[in-house]
Structure 1
Amino acid sequence: MDLPPQEIVSVELIADQSGEEVCVAECPAPVGGVGGGSDVVSYPLAFFAEMWPSTARDMVDRVPGFKLDEGGGARGLSGAAGNVLIDGNHPASKTDSLGDLLGRIPAGQVERIDVIRGGAPGIDMQGKSVVANVVRKGGDTLAGVVDLASVIVPATDRKRVSLDANVSRRSGASLFEGSVEFDLGDGGDHAFTDRHRGLDLEVPAFKSRIVRQRENRELSVSAAYERPLLDGTVRVNGNFFDRHHSGTEFENFEAPTPGQVRETSDVKTPQGGEVGARYSVTVGESKNLDTVFLHQWRNKTETVTSENRGDVSVFEKSETTKETVASLTMSMQPRESLSLETGFEGAYNVLEGTSSLLVNGIDVEVPGANATVEETRGELSAVLLWQLQDQLSLQSALRYEASSLIAPLAKTNLQFAKPSLLLSWSPASLTQIRLRAAKEVGQLNFNDFLFSASLSTGIVTAGSGTLRPTQTKLAEITFEQRFWEEGVVTASARHEELSDVIDLAPVYTDTGFYDARSNIGSATRDVFEVSSTFPLGPVGINGARIEFNGQHYRSAITDPATGEVRALSGQNPYRWDIAFKQDVNKWRMNYGVTYASGFSRIHFRSAGREYRYIRPYITAFAEYQMTQSLTVRAELLNLTGRNFTKIRDEHTGVRNISPLLYIEDRTDDTYRRIQISLSKAFN
């Protein structure tokens, strides 16, 4: 191996079934990859040998200090992109999750994973400060992964079975990928809910226990084909899904009328799909042209029926959503240390939906019963990535968008400039400091334009008449320190200035007032995050590590109903988890246990608040490599049997000036669960 002596630890080589030598014991420490600078760390397949991964997802999860990000809620393809590339490209899909795509790539097809920290010339970071690039092997291969999993809830008849089958066939420069996923049953952990409602919860006016029965069925089929075309490469992909979720809820009252039963049933049937294409071609010696097209659609119906002592309420909702996106990007790399990128993206989104609420056959008029929403958007972008020195890199981008939004009550023309800047400095080979400043624009949720109703709580939320997307200006500093072979500590602090925040605000009608999604003004938010991987091999516990992740949030906004300054609705002040995991190579197994903190959130409405508490919980797993291609995994979920508590207060009007109507306490008891999985890989 052509590595400096200080980079080599002891190496043991054996031959696999093909006769090729692979590293299975202590492997070379990660080395610089793309660009040759300290901003890129490469992890070859040999690095993961002791971990016995089945898929690229398993490998990404084991990259020291890296956490998979499925993608954010910002507008455009760049905003929806996650932090993992496949062969240098972001997937041309928004229906398939990034985790699912990685789970379809057998580990044996991966040559290496490059972690790009702060940016590297020729790599499209899409606004992320750290991305991982999964580089696949070439050559003729036929590979696949079949996963069979079952969730069992002891002492009940609940169970869930899922089957995922994935195949990949590469022939020369052509590649075919296909997958089928099927999920049946209910493996949820909710046992029952105790509900108390009244002005005095010690002597409640209503007291009941709620039990549920659910049935889920999901089918998803995906395929992709890639081949050379003219002087470039074309890739087409498609996805179709069909889901059916149904359930029945029985509420058995102890007070005020013992023996009274309220029955609520619901049926949801989402169905849809996506087609996409990417064409990439090299123009000249240093220019690349990348064209992406995708179209996705979804049809969803929902029916909820509640019957209580002859009173019948029915809520129905039907919606059709479509999105079409096309982009054209030209990138060039005039020097090894410099890359430039310009592009255009156009998008068209539409929602057509209806909602209705009937109480004993009488239609309840709520704003937002019918909505047609259309959005047309165009965006120009320019991105510069400059490796100033081996220790210093700069990523700068300017995106400018113009859009037209046709909502039920208004047509709005919007324009936003979205600059971003990322400066990465590595004062030492294992140390990096990143400074980031950006303006981001969030994506609108078109469902906010339709009214919704919860028959179990009696809360009705009106549909919005018009909305502007939330804009965020942020400044962030991140410190990353790597140590030993797998050790890393990352700490970041971020300050955000938000405008046009979307939250609930009162809407007054002739029959009273409702809450509706509205732009309620500006807010500030501070975020502190720490993550670390601490290997225990140097202290005598080979193959073991401790992983920690923690976040703390602090925010302030003026409540639209009361005028009081409060935190953002639904924000969790803090959350953390710590895990011990170990790979035992001689037994061909790995195991671990995770402790996750509980958390609390407050959701604000005009007439009340809802406090949500989730207790801490523990999970554990053990995975055994039965053969080179067959793995069995057992997971013990929710070992602590954690509870969920929701306490809601309801007032006769705006909560700070109106009398209290009642307090409701809902405590969900949960089951412990066992999941057994078999994974078969073939090459």
Structure 2
Amino acid sequence: MRRNRHHALLHACLLAAVACALPATAQTVGEVRSRTVYAADYFEDIAPANAYDMVLRVPGFTIVESDADVRGYAGATGNVLFDGARPTSKREDTGALLKRIPARAVERIELIHAGAPGIDMGGYAVLANVVRRSDASTAWAAEVGLSAATDGATEPRAKFEYGRRRGDTALDLSLKSDSEVDDDTGRGSIRTREGADMWRRSLDTRAIEREQEATVGWRQPLASGRLSLTGALRGDDVRTTTRIGASTVDDAERIHERERYREAEIGARFVRQFRGRTTFEAMASVQRGRLDELERSREGDDDEHFVGETGSGETIARVGLTHARSDTLSFNAALEGAYNFLDGDSQLRENGVDVPVPGSDVRIRERRSEATLGATWSPAQDWTIEPGLRLERSGISQSGDSPLQRSFTYAKPRLALRWNAGDADEWRLSLAREVGQLDFNDFVASASLDGGGVSAGNAGLEPDKTWRAVLSWEHRLGEDAAVSLVWTHDRIEDVMDRVLVVAGDDVFDAPGNIGRGRRDTLSLDVSAPLDAWRIAGGRIRATLLWRDSRVTDPVTGRGRGISDEKPVEGEIGFSQELPALRATWGLQVEHIAERKTKYRHDRVTHESEDVGWTLFAERRIGEHWRLRAEATDLFGRGFSERREQYDGTRADGAIEEIETRRRRTPGVVSLTIRRSVGG
């Protein structure tokens, strides 16, 4: 019944969003070939605080963050450029970078479409380029806030930013300390049924995450080009305490978990243009990190203890060249090399006795290189063709309890077409071979004593290989509204899922390859003003996604979805500018109809969560002050988890036990005040 309500809400929101996509009033927007330019005054009606507010307003564009988990640089970058160049770091949040740029420092936002001469699109159909003013200025901003959960917990937050620019020289500093109540926090119950017996226990979990970050950036002219230097120190601490109340069957169980991560990173990028048609880029970065994990579970006389220590690092060097031979033909080439390592040690003890787990002592070294060649050709005014080829080679050596040496060589061709079907419609079609990257953490044993036990490491993992076809359509309604629809079809080899690993008398679940599979995804993005509905200054933005996957279960031999994938995802945002009050308010609805299923050799886990929402209001006080209040899931948000435990494997055993966990997170209210000067 709840699933039907979720789908009804999803469809109703979808219809409302599409209905709202009506022509907008004229704005300050310029059109040049393959670029849509939004001047700074286009955003005046929303009184943006920073570049992040401005990019969110651009119709038909959704920010894609860089992916720090992808090794190397080329396949990890996001879809936002800063003064025509990508960020040096792939680990820094794109949203955070945008928020550090005051709105007064932005000259324009460019929406760059595939086919723009001299631009390496990095596989994206659209890029946003934030162009900053070059006049001399100094700006700083300080922000402090406090969040309070409805269960009484309070967490502070603080941020300081400083920027100074003079021509092409700039200095940027940022300090941040943030803490929040994690979604894992909540109170509820555990209901267990075993045969005809049933019992109930209380569940109380509290998880607090504290994050600190310090970054510095420097830009200056050098050798007729521009040099950018960055440095960062980051820390993240998560502490979780879970208490499962006593019942007539079991004594109370307490689980304590702690994760402590520290990271340092430095990077450099040099960009130079030659005669306006050739761009040379060189970058290098070095990152080092350390993760310490501790988990302990006590229930009566039983005691489980897991300790893990992981050190990791990455060194990247890359050079790239983009040449526009003419306004209709350009070429790009790049060469990248990377060295990665991971050293992992872990130990599991049960009642004082060591339990050997595969992947508890792992040393991994990888050397990886990639060469890229591509072209962008416009044979006609409304057509663009982008062929490309990437050649990847890597060698991985492992030592410890699973010594192994392997090498991989992959060719990754790509062909993309773009057709402008008039002034309002754009069609895109692409076909590419994608090769996933092995997550080194999957080689190392890990534990979730509350979430279902210990996962072994798997030294024999292969990257998944995918042939991906993407068809997209974008329709613009006026200058301030857009609708886009994207269908993606994946044919996958060596699907990454879960497999059974046997070590002596012990049986463990582990990441593994399970053969061929397929995945279809349909996504819809709508951005439109609501003036036609007599909501002056109102705007709606909706992103909805449907996903269907199929793979052969390695345990039962029957078809099922890929483990841990969500069939539906969605969020809808509404905001309204109130000029008379110098205020903005809005509502963000997230996690629409989200659910997923996890498969293990002896267990199936179904997880679902209720819709989440955030109501916010922000008021500008004078020229320098902003006050923002938020209420998130004020009456709590429900989570449900059903674990079906089998007697033996799922292939030949019957369900032995069904455990249903329900909990409700506390609501959170927050108040933040920000003072900014300059820009």
Q: CA deviation at 1:389?
A: 3.5
Identity across matched positions, percent: 29
Partner of residue 235 from structure 1, selected from 228, 232, 235: 228
What CA distance in whole angstroms lies between the structure 2 residues aligned with 1:411 and 1:631?
A: 57
Q: CA deviation at 1:449?
A: 0.7
Contact 2:328/2:378 (CA < 8 Å) preserved in 1?
yes
Contact 2:169/2:220 (CA < 8 Å) preserved in 1?
yes
What CA distance in whole angstroms lies between the structure 2 residues aligned with 1:579 and 1:557?
A: 34
Q: Is 1:654 equivalent to 2:649 in the alignment? A: yes
Contact 2:186/2:206 (CA < 8 Å) preserved in 1?
no
What CA distance in whole angstroms lies between the structure 2 residues aligned with 1:473 and 1:185?
A: 40
Letter in 2 for 1:462: A
Partner of residue 109 from structure 2, selected from 87, 94, 113: 113
Contact 1:194/1:668 (CA < 8 Å) preserved in 2?
yes
Equivalent position of 2:6 in the other structure? none
Equivalent position of 1:197 in the other structure? 192
Q: CA deviation at 1:478?
A: 0.7
Equivalent pairs, count: 650
In structure 2, the CA distance between the partners of 1:103 and 1:650, relative to structure 1 (3 Å rule), is same
Comparing 469-478 and 534-543, the one that deviates more: 534-543
Partner of residue 449 from structure 1, selected from 419, 443, 446: 443
Equivalent position of 2:524 in the other structure? 530
Q: CA deviation at 1:392?
A: 1.9
Equivalent position of 2:134 in the other structure? 138
What secondary structure does 2:441 align onto? helix
Comparing 89-98 and 591-600, the one that deviates more: 591-600
What CA distance in whole angstroms lies between the structure 2 residues aligned with 1:251 and 1:356?
A: 24
Contact 2:616/2:628 (CA < 8 Å) preserved in 1?
yes
Q: Is 1:410 equivalent to 2:401 in the alignment? A: no
In structure 2, the CA distance between the partners of 1:636 and 1:127, relative to structure 1 (3 Å rule), is same
Letter in 1 for 2:584: N
Bigger relative CO (Cα 8 Å, ≥ 6 apart)? 2
After superposition, the C-alpha distances for 1:198-242 in whole angstroms (9 at most, x for unaligned) are 325x8424x321223444432211001111122222111000112
What CA distance in whole angstroms lies between the structure 2 residues aligned with 1:332 and 1:126?
A: 15
After superposition, the C-alpha distances for 1:381-425 in whole angstroms (9 at most, x for unaligned) are 112122333322222221111111123342111111111222111
TM-score, normalization: structure 1?
A: 0.91
Q: Is 1:612 equivalent to 2:611 in the alignment? A: no
Contact 1:160/1:187 (CA < 8 Å) preserved in 2?
no
What secondary structure does 2:52 align onto? helix
Equivalent position of 2:237 in the other structure? 244
In structure 2, the CA distance between the partners of 1:227 and 1:643, relative to structure 1 (3 Å rule), is same
Structure 1's unaligned 5+ residue stretches are 1-24
What CA distance in whole angstroms lies between the structure 1 residues aligned with 2:540 and 2:48?
A: 19
In structure 2, the CA distance between the partners of 1:192 and 1:119, relative to structure 1 (3 Å rule), is farther
Contact 1:74/1:441 (CA < 8 Å) preserved in 2?
no
Partner of residue 480 from structure 1, selected from 474, 477, 502: 474
Q: C-alpha root-mean-square deviation of aligned residues, in Å? A: 2.0
Q: CA deviation at 1:188?
A: 5.1
Equivalent position of 1:4 in the other structure? none
Could you list the structure 1 runs, at least 4 aligned residues long, displaced by more than 4 angstroms after superposition: 72-75
Contact 2:573/2:587 (CA < 8 Å) preserved in 1?
yes
TM-score, normalization: structure 2?
A: 0.92
Q: Is 1:594 equivalent to 2:579 in the alignment? A: no
Partner of residue 43 from structure 1, selected from 38, 42, 57: 38
In structure 2, the CA distance between the partners of 1:269 and 1:576, relative to structure 1 (3 Å rule), is closer
What CA distance in whole angstroms lies between the structure 2 residues aligned with 1:50 and 1:439?
A: 43
Letter in 2 for 1:194: S
Q: Is 1:87 equivalent to 2:83 in the alignment? A: yes
Partner of residue 681 from structure 1, selected from 656, 671, 676: 676
Q: CA deviation at 1:458?
A: 4.5
What CA distance in whole angstroms lies between the structure 2 residues aligned with 1:590 and 1:651?
A: 53
After superposition, the C-alpha distances for 1:361-392 in whole angstroms (9 at most, x for unaligned) are 10011111111111111111112122333322
After superposition, the C-alpha distances for 1:459-499 in whole angstroms (9 at most, x for unaligned) are 22111122221122111111111112311110111111111
What CA distance in whole angstroms lies between the structure 2 residues aligned with 1:189 and 1:455?
A: 14
Q: Is 1:160 equivalent to 2:155 in the alignment? A: yes
In structure 2, the CA distance between the partners of 1:277 and 1:576, relative to structure 1 (3 Å rule), is same
Q: Is 1:578 equivalent to 2:572 in the alignment? A: yes
Q: Is 1:663 equivalent to 2:658 in the alignment? A: yes
Equivalent position of 2:4 in the other structure? none
What secondary structure does 2:289 align onto? strand
In structure 2, the CA distance between the partners of 1:430 and 1:90, relative to structure 1 (3 Å rule), is same
Contact 2:531/2:538 (CA < 8 Å) preserved in 1?
yes
Q: Is 1:272 equivalent to 2:263 in the alignment? A: yes
After superposition, the C-alpha distances for 1:137-164 in whole angstroms (9 at most, x for unaligned) are 102111133232321113x321221112
Equivalent position of 2:323 in the other structure? 332
In structure 2, the CA distance between the partners of 1:187 and 1:616, relative to structure 1 (3 Å rule), is closer
Structure 2's unaligned 5+ residue stretches are 1-23
Contact 2:169/2:218 (CA < 8 Å) preserved in 1?
yes
Q: CA deviation at 1:660?
A: 2.4
After superposition, the C-alpha distances for 1:643-675 in whole angstroms (9 at most, x for unaligned) are 100001111321131132211111111222112
Contact 2:107/2:131 (CA < 8 Å) preserved in 1?
yes
Contact 1:618/1:640 (CA < 8 Å) preserved in 2?
no
Equivalent position of 2:202 in the other structure? 209
Equivalent position of 1:226 in the other structure? 219
What CA distance in whole angstroms lies between the structure 2 residues aligned with 1:371 and 1:74?
A: 20
Partner of residue 539 from structure 2, selected from 533, 537, 545: 545
In structure 2, the CA distance between the partners of 1:629 and 1:431, relative to structure 1 (3 Å rule), is farther
Q: CA deviation at 1:517?
A: 1.0
Letter in 2 for 1:121: P
Equivalent position of 1:11 in the other structure? none
Equivalent position of 1:263 in the other structure? 254
Equivalent position of 1:627 in the other structure? 622
Partner of residue 493 from structure 1, selected from 475, 487, 496: 487
Q: CA deviation at 1:553?
A: 0.7
Equivalent position of 1:395 in the other structure? 386
In structure 2, the CA distance between the partners of 1:431 and 1:324, relative to structure 1 (3 Å rule), is same
Equivalent position of 1:554 in the other structure? 548
Contact 1:641/1:671 (CA < 8 Å) preserved in 2?
yes
Equivalent position of 2:314 in the other structure? 323
